[in-house]
A and B are shown apart, each in its own frame.
Chain A
Amino acid sequence: MRSTPASNSDSHPMVHLGDLHKTFSNASGEYKVLKGINLTIQQGEFLAVVGKSGSGKSTLLNMITGIDHPTSGLVEVNGTEIKTMTESQRALWRGRNLGIVFQFFQLLPMLTLQENVMLPMDLVGMYDFDDRPRKALELLARVGLQEHAHKLPASVSTGQQQSAGIARALANDPPIIIADEPTGNLDSRSADAIINIFDKLLDERKTIVMVTHDPALTDRTSRTLILSDGELVDETVVKCLPLLDHSQMLTVTKQLERFYFQPNSTILEEDHFVDYFYMIVKGFVEIVLCEKCRDEIMITRLGPGQFFGEIELINGSNSIAAIRAAPDNEVELVGLRRDEFTKLLAESPLTEGAIRKIVHIRLEENRIADRRRTSRRAYP
């Protein structure tokens, strides 16, 4: 997985969605497709949006691209609030700010690849008229299609068509690339080539938002958003409990309680009753034995996307170690109550199995650390 650029100090939000709702009406009544989405995407992020069919992924993309309007809420892309623009203004803005890549490529069949790439330049009035063919050839060369520039889409492979689609998306050098299942219609080798192109774009500080069904692709993105039934699954849940199905993730998301801790503050004392399964959203925590003892020992340090408390909840014991916020940062946690966690494991044997493995490993680590502490006491 790529590192998130959030740590980069010069990045700024490219997309901001605030309490976004979208409701469709048809003969059978109203249907809420998006239910209060809050999302910020930073410049340079490669974001995967994942979800089952009908979960609202395409609607979410439509909100970002401005091809559909929210029922309520805010959509701000690259500093512009989309709903303030007319349809034509939006088309011009979109042409300059967004490059869009489709699952079915959507190249105009009667134009050559080069002409397809020149089309957005023509429509938006980008570059001098005489420079456009050269620019288009450059873009096609970047995606390895310089030799096919004068061919019609039907004369090249589907992978090459998608590469041409990306070249077209880059025609006006937009800061944001929106890709709707760009590899959904490609074989694995072509898909790999497309993602490699995306990787190169990230080096140019482009922001990429990609809808995909392909788990192999989400591994190569910096963030993964899961949409389930029109709602975003908490990203920490996605990272900590990846084996849950999407609706279980969403249920957990709704059950979470949030906790904040100052640096060095104790989160959980040793040999105390544990109420929650904790997942780390932000910051680092230290797992220590005999905290505040002279011979305290730090077993491990856990960061975002990791969890603790599972040993006690599964084994029914008090805490076997103390947990505290690392001295260098604040910590944000989300917690799932004991009974909900127990119920969840019962519903998801895969997750239970995975967590039990982790419990086993951690208990082993704990035993080793405890032995070390004991030996230190014996031989000061």
Chain B
Amino acid sequence: MRPRWVKVLHDLWDNKSRTILAVVSIAVGVFSIGVITGAYVIISSDINISYAANNPMNIEIRTSPINSDTISMVMNTRGVADVEGRFVFNMRARKSGSTQWTSLNMVAIDDFSKVKINLLTPISGSPIPDKKQVVLEKKVLDSLDLNPGDTMEVQLNDGSVKTLTVAGIVQDPSSGAGDFLAQPFSYIDSSTLATLALPQIYNRIYATVSEGKNDLTSIRLVGSMIEDKLGKSTILVFRSEYSITNEHPMASTVSAILGILLALGILILFLSSSLIANTLNALLTQHTRHIGVMKLVGGQRNQILGMYIALILAFGLISVVISVPLGGQGAYALSAFVADKLNFKLLGYRIVPIAFIIQIIVGLLGPLLAGIIPVLNGSRTTVLHALSTDSNRDEETITKDQDVSNKTLSARLAHMLGKRNIHFPRPLLISLRNTFRRKGRLILTLFTLTMAGGIFIAVFNLNVTLHDYIGQIGNYFLADVTLDFSQSYRIDKIKNEALKVPGVVAVEGWTYGSAEVIQADGTVADNLTILAPPAGSSLVTPILVSGRWLVAGDENAITLSEGAISNLPGVKVGDFITLKMNGRESSWKVVGVFKFVNQSGSIAYANYDVISRLNHTINSSFSYRIVTDKHDKAYQAMVAQNLDTYFRDRNYKVTDAKTGDSTLKTAVESLDILVNFLLIMALLTAVVGSIGLTGTMFMNVLERTRETGILRSIGAVDSVIMRSVITEGMVIGGISWFLGAILSIPITYLLSTIVSLAIFETPITIHFTATGFLIWLGVVLVLSAAASILPARNAARLTIREVLAYE
């Protein structure tokens, strides 16, 4: 092998800590890119393929009770490929022997072997339940610890409890796919309905279209025809949902979130590249003399350039070899995690060629781009500079002016503090001055740590921002307890009863309505869930975007959520929209627009009086909002339990009694997953940053070997030398914290806006928290100290003879 390539190999092998530093910094970036691009490709493909593979419904219609004749009628509608009728109802369930009830959506299916829509994927046990058996969707297992063969208790409307045996666990990627607030599903055979004292009816129609499965317009058209038919048969349509086959309802949200993670991955790569630039700068400084010798014995610039480019490529290659397989594994692990959370099935482990190629390109080109300037500069080094004994000091040359100004500054500072009887120890002053000696390197290190800090703090701010928003959404859920019944009761009756339960201070009866927004051409533009509190309810504090809230006496007045308004292009406050409720169309005035979590469909509010009149439930309600005298969660839970017991004991058909904000908890959990992901990315950037700082401190120590020797020769003991190095590292950490704190502000705005647009489809108010700033201060100081300990130990280990002989 040619001697110059032998040298490159030795450069790579002999200084293992430097090689490891360079390789790890590249590998972290390439790994992040690999994980995210791989996951992006896997998820965006599998989420839709998995969704489509289960033949999801294109049309879901919630109706008043229907029978198989209606299903046959719908089947005969032009454009319909398949139709199934199912009975979906809510029921409380618990593991036999447990006291903890969980609400489940129970789906009764006539013949599991003939299911063609929303297919169930078996996971364990049998996917087909016999009589008195139940099949659980795997998300049920999050709240109920059940396995096939176990028994589960369900509570009937009359309060009695029946036992069902778990036949199997399945996955249902289609049902409730677009709603991460949806309750988990379980499935029974229709023959079990009798056991549960329920009629053999259907209340949902699931249909697929024969043509244009991926065209929402044609699906809506078929849907309208079905609804027309149902209307003519005096069947009430409460709600209709349309979705295409080849796209999971959450796909775009997932893409947006992965986009953010990708941006962070690119940032990490960018930071690790700056680290490479730093490492190579130091390497070339160390190699200046080698370069000089090679040039002196005939080495031309291109040859030197070639050698160092080969070295960078070798760093890149090793990083790629390490990070590509890990990135592949990581991508699949991330995909599996997301798939589990969003309830879809991955198509199996595989290498994603594009992620593979991107990692290789990024792993080889990234360091090359980052390192090319130091290498070009290094290869340009003149022999004179390289062989000059003072060459290493050139960057440090202090001009007369700088010297004077520094002196003035430090002298002034020392004088000023001295007057206040504050004296810095001399070693500390040395550390402070050392910090600023290699400005280029300091800037690169600060850049990396500052970005890491900025992101880290911003993630905490984002967390607070999101939770604050959820908290604000909680203003729509101000009741301490929500009490639902399976039939409506007179409000004053329930009120009187409820007030007898200790802790209850106020009761409101609410009602709900489902409505379709009808366009001028008669097609459905959107489905609205209308919540109807009594006028002037104190249990809703809306966040208004425009217009006003409902007032007493508002007839056919409605307020729409931002999400709802975005589905109705052109509609604004003051406009009239046509709503179809219970089969009848009527005109409503939009009086206000408010913010809301948009993931649970389009929400609207109207006055109780109006909706109850339309529902024929005047002065009565299924759903009650209870205010208690204390508002902590434990107390709310206790009162909810007491209310449940109280009403059941008196034979009221209680469906559920839960704390007012329990629905939001699911949303918060989902947000926490995202925040945790972002935090992991932020920690990765912090790792890159601390690797950078370690490298910087190693280089600083190496370059100051002679100074260390001088310090030693004039009496500096190990601890003084170590303290000097560690203090320098911590000063850099401290500066980066300050800069990171400033940078976190725009990053917080950027990140919060992107995330809120992706999740809530609306920009939200940004909030800041001291937590992120303080935690990062702690983290960065610990990281800085940790990053400096090894270099400091190296410095302290050197003997005077070694350091003064250092060449």
Contact = CB atoms under 8 A, between A and B. Distances in A.
Contacts of A118: 2-3
Contact of B3 (A62, A88, A119, A169): A119
Interface string A166-188: 00110110000000000000000
A94 B292 CA distance: 12
Contact of B11 (A65, A67, A110): A110
Interface of B: 2-4, 6-7, 10-11, 14, 289-290, 292-303, 382-384, 387, 399-400, 807
Contact of A108 (B290, B300, B384, B807): B290
Contacts of B302: 88
A95 interface: yes
Contacts of A67: 296, 382-384, 387
A62 B14 CA distance: 32
B297 A123 contact: yes
Contact of A171 (B6, B293, B297, B303): B297
A119 B298 CA distance: 9
B705 to A, nearest CB: 16
A270 B289 CA distance: 64
12 contacts: A65-B383, A91-B300, A94-B296, A102-B387, A106-B292, A108-B290, A111-B6, A119-B3, A122-B3, A122-B4, A123-B4, A124-B297
Contacts of A44: none
A68 interface: yes
B806 to A, nearest CB: 12
Contacts of B299: 91, 95, 123
A123 B14 contact: no
A91 B301 contact: yes
Interface of A: 27, 62, 65, 67-68, 87-88, 91-92, 94-96, 100, 102, 104, 106, 108, 110-111, 115-116, 118-120, 122-124, 129, 168-169, 171-172
Nearest to A89: B300
Contacts of B296: 65, 67, 91, 94, 100, 106
Contact of B4 (A65, A95, A119): A119
Interface of B is mostly: helix
A108 B400 CA distance: 36
A124 B297 CA distance: 8
A95 B293 CA distance: 11
B202 to A, nearest CB: 80
Nearest to B14: A110
Nearest to B807: A104
| Contact residues of A: prevailing secondary structure | helix
A91 B298 contact: yes
Contacts of B3: 111, 115-116, 118-119, 122
Nearest to B403: A27
Given A27-B399, A67-B383, A88 B2 contact: no
A87 B298 contact: no
A106 B289 contact: yes
A69 B650 CA distance: 106
Nearest to A152: B10
Given A27-B399, A88-B300, A108-B294, 9 more contacts: A65-B296, A68-B384, A91-B383, A100-B297, A106-B289, A106-B296, A110-B7, A120-B297, A123-B4
A181 to B, nearest CB: 13
A108 B384 CA distance: 17
A123 B300 contact: yes
A5 B4 CA distance: 38
B293 A87 contact: no
Given A67-B383, A111-B3, A119-B3, A172 B400 contact: no
Pairs A-B, 7 closest by C-beta atoms = A95-B298, A110-B10, A124-B298, A120-B297, A67-B383, A115-B3, A88-B300
Given A27-B399, A108-B290, A111-B7, A119 B384 contact: no
A30 B115 CA distance: 95
Given A27-B400, A95-B298, A172-B298, A106 B293 contact: yes
Contacts of A62: 384
Contacts of B293: 106, 108
Contacts of B10: 110-111
B310 to A, nearest CB: 14
Most chain A CB atoms below 10 A, which of B295, B298, B382, B387: B298
Contacts of B384: 62, 67-68
